[in-house]
Amino acid sequence: MQAIHPAIEPTEDGSPTLRHPVFGETYHSLHGAVAEARHVFIAGGLKRCPLPHVHILEAGFGSGLNAWLTLREAEESGRTVWYTAVEAYPVDIRTAEALRYADDPLFGALHRAPWGEPTEITPRFRLEKRAEDLVFARMDAIFDIIYFDAFAPDTQPELWTEGLFRKLFAQTAPGGALVTYSAKGTVKRALRAAGYEVTRLPGAPGKRHMVRAVRPRKNESDANLK
Ligand SMILES: C[S@@+](CC[C@H](N)C(=O)[O-])C[C@H]1O[C@@H](n2cnc3c(N)ncnc32)[C@H](O)[C@@H]1O
């Protein structure tokens, strides 16, 4: 897939984000890119997972911000993370390196990692970037957390469907969770229809709610599977 060249825009917490040249949407909230990513994916997802080794799927690698914050959290908390990210429109390396997070050499390492090959970024963080369309991507791994970070349901309705959520549910570990910034009614209904138990949590700055959708354990003995 060919790399795209999104524009860089400031957000209210001082951190930059990107604007997609085709969809016209920003990759994170203009109320604060880092604030939103920390709230939805790190606090709502990673920090609620008790496992010492976590396998994460991200829908939409984009700017690499969610991946980078996850790497930092893994380093700080002393856990290991295997991070698989699917991205249909990879960002060109020069744009990525112009983002301010790029002051951290590990942020550049995430972007320079080859596509389609698991790469050890640090001993605690293994990244596999897949340049594929999420709708068609074949998956066989089981994930403890799914960061569902597609563009908004009104912009990309084809990605917020019961069908796609069923596919992700099948790859979610019992007790694992999908987290996303959208708490739209149609999204919650599609997640429930796919089998998830859906909870609304307080949203990131500028948003009332976000969603955390958990794959129920079949029975108590599943609690001891991992
Ligand atoms: C809201 S942005 C999130 C970006 C990212 N999580 C980050 O930390 O910057 C949505 C991302 O999903 C990607 N995307 C859109 N449609 C996709 C598809 N069908 N399959 C995979 N990725 C897609 C976009 O290119 C973009 O990178």
Amino acid in the structure at residue 129: K
Coil/strand/helix, residue 19 = strand
- What's the confidence (pLDDT) of residue 103? 84
CATH at 193? 3.40.50.150
The reply to whether 55 falls in a domain is yes
Tens-binned pLDDT, residue by residue, of the chain (226 aa): 789 999 999 999 999 999 999 999 999 999 999 999 999 999 999 999 999 999 999 999 999 999 999 999 999 999 999 999 999 999 999 999 999 887 899 999 999 999 999 999 999 999 999 999 999 999 999 999 999 999 999 999 999 999 999 999 999 999 999 999 999 999 999 999 999 999 999 999 999 999 999 999 986 545 544 4
Establish whether residue 56 lines the binding site of ligand 1, counting it when its CB lies within 6 angstroms of any ligand atom. Answer: no
Give residue 88 CA to ligand 1 midpoint distance, Å.
7
Nearest CA to ligand 1 atom 10: 150
Q: Structural domain of residue 40, as residue ranges?
A: 7-224
Nearest CA to ligand 1 atom 5: 62
- Measured from the Cβ of residue 72, the count of other Cβ atoms closer than 10 Å reads 16
Tokens 């229809």: give the residue.
193
Give residue 199 CA to ligand 1 midpoint distance, Å.
23
The reply to whether 1 falls in a domain is no
Nearest CA to ligand 1 atom 12: 60
**pTM value?**
0.96
The reply to whether 2 falls in a domain is no
Which residue among 58, 149, 158 is best mutated to probe the pocket of ligand 1, counting the most ligand atoms within 8 A of its Cβ? 149
| CA 175 to centroid of chain Cα atoms | 18
**Total of domains in the chain:** 1
150-185 as b/e, with b when 16 or more CB fall inside 10 Å?
bbebeeeeebbbbebbebbbebbbebbbbbbbbbee
Ligand 1 atom closest to the Cα of residue 62 is 27
- Say how far apart CA 48 and CA 12 lie, in whole Å: 26
- What's the confidence (pLDDT) of residue 219? 67
The reply to whether 56 falls in a domain is yes
The reply to whether 88 falls in a domain is yes
- Per DSSP (E only), the strands in the chain are 7-10, 16-19, 53-59, 80-86, 119-122, 125-130, 143-148, 172-180, 197-202, 209-214
Query: 220: number of CA atoms within 13 Å, CB side?
Result: 0
Nearest to 88 by CA among 119, 130, 58: 130
Asked if 70 contacts 56 with a C-beta cutoff of 8 angstroms, the reply is: yes
- What's the confidence (pLDDT) of residue 101? 82
Find all residues with CB under 8 Å of 133, minimum gap 6, and list them: 86, 88
- What's the confidence (pLDDT) of residue 223? 52
> In the beta sheet, which residues pair with residue 18?
8
- Say how far apart CA 181 and CA 173 lie, in whole Å: 21
Which residue among 20, 72, 89 is best mutated to probe the pocket of ligand 1, counting the most ligand atoms within 8 A of its Cβ? 89
Which residue among 17, 42, 84, 134 is best mutated to probe the pocket of ligand 1, counting the most ligand atoms within 8 A of its Cβ? 134
